[in-house]
Structure 1
Amino acid sequence: MTKTRLAMLAALATVSFAHPVWADSENPNIIVVSGPLFDPFFSALKKGADDAASNLNIHYQYSTVQDANNLQADFARLLDQAAATQPDAMVVGNYFPDAMSPVIKRAAEAGINVIIQDGGYSTWKDTGAFTYVGYDPDSLGVESGQIQVKAGVKNGLCVNHVPGNPSLEALCNAYVKAVKDAGGTGKVLTIAVQDAQNPQANLQAMKGALEADPSIDGIMTLGATQTTLAVQASDETGHEQGKIKIGGSGLSTAVLEGIRDGKVQFGVDLQAYLDGYYSILLAYQKVKYNLAPVQPMYAGPRFVYQKDAEKILLVNEKYVGIRGTN
């Protein structure tokens, strides 16, 4: 990185956050700091934000990381830069609260309207945000575990490909607890965050877990890519289709086809498009009218089963991208 670039970033980081936020702003400045677009979930989220901005006839900025090599530091840096521009509102996926919450708090204290989106459910009130849009990871984990238990799962494996993200850690822990509460066993398989979008690393990690413990009969994943890889891992370790119940949070065309064909027990549609759409809408209404919901807004989860998959696939053929189908 050049000295000029370093100096520019340093200057941005030292700009005061203090500024007036006018409730009647006709052209609000909204910045979204959210997840990487190489993940199908976030491509759908961004499409929702794009459509909301278009419908409202406003402009906004989507800021994200380009790779998974240094997520915590990169997200904190992007957030610091966004806050330094003194926007009217910020929509933030607080995926790593240790690094990101202090910046969010400073922004909120300086009068920037903040929405926490998708990540950061357990800490959104502490940051000074005025609302949260997303899902409750604890409830999702419990329900996913209970669904698999009812299907006969005795030993569940939750695959967390973004360690350090409290929402995903809570989801996995709740899933494992639900299986254990029903008399079974379970554990979390952690994949290094820099390998989050490395299919071969994910596949080998899951195959290794299945080979090390042949009694695993349930898998819960936290991303569409990981769900399809779980099916492959099950096949390549010699398990008959359906012997291992596979569920996953996040949809893609491949996941929906797997559900339709009976290879995946269920998918969890967090309705990322609504995440993005509602966040822009709420930010706009807060800035312009000083209106805000009095409770968190849950865009998901919606559980998708075999009977639902074909209908959703047909919708996705007509409306490409609203579920991150890439």
Structure 2
Amino acid sequence: MRTRTILAGLAGASLLLTACSQGDATGDDASTGAAGPAPAATDEGEVASPAADAPAPFDQEGLEIAIVQQSGQGDYFQQYLNGTRQQVEALGAELSVYDAQGDNATQASQLDQAIASQPDGIIVRHGFPDTLCPGVNQAIEAGIPVIIYDVEIQQCAPDAVQTQQSDAEMAGLVLEKMVEDIGSDQNVGYVNVLGIAPLDRRHAVWEEYKADNGWNELFFTGTFTNSTATDTAPLVDNALKANPDVAAIYAPYDELTKGTLSAMEQNADLGEVLVYGADISTADIELMTADGSPWVATGATDPNAIGAAVVRTLALHMAGELEEMKVEFPPILITQDFLRENEVRNMEDLRAAEPALNISDVSSADWIPSVTF
């Protein structure tokens, strides 16, 4: 029953990802005329009416905002883009989407294309500082406001505004639960990829918890590609076959978590192994609540709400009202027990059960029509 149920959930998640990424991802986005994938069919937010008149430049029509993303594949990124689109539309602007599909050189080239199109603002989402800093600095020098999401870029682009989830807090919430569940002096597995800003921040917390609790890390594996879950699964499968005696696995990105679950299904003779992840989506909820699922806790924000909040941060920056150079968005702990006890089956249920996921008051102003999910 355990194998059949979780495999069905993984298959459903795979179908969802496939459905979300249909179309020519390197061609034109039909809704914007810019390079990028077709928008996903995801949650609709509610738009609050502004209480004040918008300042310049939002007192005029025809504003254009570009988002240059390292990859649009995966539940988190699809939801993030959904929130981005809806908040941009609520502000009366148009969104151009550039999706590098995991290719760093392409992302740098697409950032150049975005700058050449002379948008009113740019969001750069994920990627690497060495790849992005020249273009980010060029945009700022050209007078284009730039907001960065989840790239540690301020050392080489000090005038760029950086936004991110509170990744250290997210990791701490989950790892504290892991300590509670398995205790100290245990064999553990670790599935992560270094060199990516949010995963590096979570890694630092992992190292602290591993040392403080005497955990013996039997394996450290994982990969980040445009098909992270699929490509990570065989790596974890090999690691588990060589090191089956683990009490728990930490995989701090939901595509890595999915790859871990898939690998565990290929190792049916494993004893009880608990899995701790990050991020949340309807597909993730289905996997966590499936009969016999080992995924017992995740640290998360609502990526729809994050995408919208980053747009609001850009809007404040464009209007000259942003007073800080770094904005963080708070996560919460979501457990398997909580989801089951509250009969949470999708993101709509989860938002109703956990109002803290709604961050529509973050990076907002009385003139901004905030989108609430």
Question: Is TM > 0.5 for Structure 1 vs Structure 2?
Answer: yes
Q: Does structure 1 retain, via aligned residues, the 8 Å contact 2:129–2:156? A: no
Instruction: Identify the residue that residue 258 of structure 1 maps to in structure 2.
Output: 287
TM-aligned CA deviation for residue 133 of structure 1: 2.7
TM-aligned CA deviation for residue 316 of structure 1: 3.4
TM-aligned CA deviation for residue 244 of structure 1: 1.6
Q: What secondary structure does 1:265 align onto? A: strand
TM-aligned CA deviation for residue 173 of structure 1: 3.9
Q: What secondary structure does 2:71 align onto? A: coil
TM-aligned CA deviation for residue 193 of structure 1: 3.6
Instruction: Identify the residue that residue 215 of structure 2 maps to in structure 1.
Output: 184
TM-aligned CA deviation for residue 148 of structure 1: 1.3
Whole-angstrom distance in 2 between the partners of 1:102 and 1:187 = 40
Change in Cα spacing, 1:167 to 1:317, as seen in structure 2 (3 Å) is closer
1:1-326 mapped onto 2 (5 Å cutoff): 23-24=56-57, 26-27=60-61, 28-65=63-100, 67-68=101-102, 71-117=103-149, 119-120=150-151, 122-124=152-154, 126-129=156-159, 131-152=161-182, 154-161=186-193, 163-186=194-217, 189-194=220-225, 196-197=227-228, 199=230, 201-237=231-267, 238-240=269-271, 243-261=272-290, 262-287=293-318, 289-294=319-324, 296-310=326-340, 311=342, 312-316=344-348
Whole-angstrom distance in 1 between the partners of 2:332 and 2:97 = 25
Q: Does structure 2 retain, via aligned residues, the 8 Å contact 1:87–1:112? A: yes
- Deviations 1:137-180 (Å, cap 9, x if unpaired)? 3343344333212211523333225x532332332343133122
Once superposed, what is the RMSD of the aligned Cα atoms? 3.0
Q: Does structure 1 retain, via aligned residues, the 8 Å contact 2:173–2:299? A: no
TM-aligned CA deviation for residue 187 of structure 1: 6.5
TM-aligned CA deviation for residue 291 of structure 1: 1.0
Q: Does structure 2 retain, via aligned residues, the 8 Å contact 1:143–1:175? A: no
Letter in 2 for 1:273: N
TM-aligned CA deviation for residue 46 of structure 1: 0.9
Q: Calculate the TM-score normalised by the size of structure 2.
A: 0.68
Q: What secondary structure does 1:189 align onto? A: strand
In terms of mean alpha carbon deviation, does 49-58 or 149-158 score higher? 149-158
Letter in 2 for 1:219: I
Structure 2 stretches lacking a partner, 5+ long: 1-54, 352-356, 358-373
Whole-angstrom distance in 2 between the partners of 1:74 and 1:51 = 26
In terms of mean alpha carbon deviation, does 299-308 or 84-93 score higher? 299-308
Q: Calculate the TM-score normalised by the size of structure 1.
A: 0.77
Q: Which has the higher helix share?
A: 1
TM-aligned CA deviation for residue 211 of structure 1: 1.8
Change in Cα spacing, 1:33 to 1:51, as seen in structure 2 (3 Å) is same
Change in Cα spacing, 1:192 to 1:235, as seen in structure 2 (3 Å) is closer
